[in-house]
Amino acid sequence: MVIFTLHQGLNNLVKTLFREYYEKANLELPFDMELREFAFQPFDSPTYVRHLSFNNEIELRSFITKTLPLHLFYSSAKYQMPSAKDMEEKGWMGADIQFDLDADHFCNVRKFNFCPVCGDYVSGDKCPKDGSQTIEYMEITEECINITKDKTIDLVDILKEDFDFKPKIYFSGNRGFHVIIECSGDCALLNSDARKEISEYVMGFNVPKYQGKPCDPGWPGRLAKNKKGVEIDEQVTIDTKRLIRIPGSLHGKSGLIVKQIDDILKFSFNKDLSPFTGFSVFKPFISGEFNLLGNKIKFYKNTPIKLETSIAIYSTLKNLGEVTLYVR
């Protein structure tokens, strides 16, 4: 048994666990990674470090374990010179197509602000009692993720049946799914206007309005089955230079793994999405009952509680409190 205590701030234990994870992580990288721009967000910084390039996974992994990213990305675009600082100088060669589906777009999620110092629920960005910056909390439940799963299935059906694409589904690591079309040839060279047409089509804009038979292809058949368009983040899809979360990386707002989903019907939003095991002592900043990775847990401000480390790290990255002791 190994015991860690936290003495020098909130991030130390999280950093240790992230580093240990990345030393052995199975990252899913594009076969043409030398043409991709890489980017990351460090711990304790709101800005991204961009314009990085790597020739192989060994170079990337060495960089990751030294710099330790909170978030990790590669570009949907392929470039002649991916490390060039000027976007025009990079030499755009085409891009994959990405779709984002976030659970809070399909559900009325629980959302509130609170003060991490006094623990009060407040409105606005500052606590009226002590002037502290407030924290916004958004609660994603398994029920809401299941609704998003259904929307993702609808999107994939449209992309397969109407465009003959071969989409891949990924859990975003936080509150939804990414659908990626790995493009080559004409697909990769689609400009923003063409991608906008695709996004509007899947959302049900400017499509045939007549209702056919349920067995009919395209929108006439979908309308016969009372199917509607799928709400996506259109800006993500039309962007020809978008950043994509690296599958196998950790999402810095949850500690969960970004991962490909082979069978989305079997996907469950729970603690198994976390790589972290063992138990931790967690000290909440706030009192209340929370739904955390499918577990309903009551917190009492400043009262330590024993949690599975997967849930404790998730709660920490949601800014609900901090881990004070970790037992592996």
Catalytic residue flag (residue 100): yes
19 CB neighbour count, 10 Å cutoff = 13
| DSSP sequence for 299-315 | E-TT--EEEEHHHHHHH
221 CB neighbour count, 10 Å cutoff = 16
Catalytic residue flag (residue 239): no
40 Cβ contact partners less than 8 Å away, ≥ 6 residues apart = 48, 49, 52, 64, 67, 69, 70, 71, 72, 73
SS3 223: helix
| CA dist., res. 18 & res. 66, Å (int) | 11
Catalytic residue among 154, 157, 233, 239: 233
Contact 114, 301 (CB under 8 A): no
Catalytic residue flag (residue 233): yes
Contact 296, 325 (CB under 8 A): no
In single-letter form, the type of residue at position 164 comes to D
b/e map 38-53, b = 16+ CB within 10 Å:
bbbbebeeeeeebbbb
SS3 318: coil
Phi, psi of 89, rounded to the nearest 5 degrees: -75, -15
Phi, psi of 264, rounded to the nearest 5 degrees: -65, -25
- State the catalytic residues: 100, 102, 233
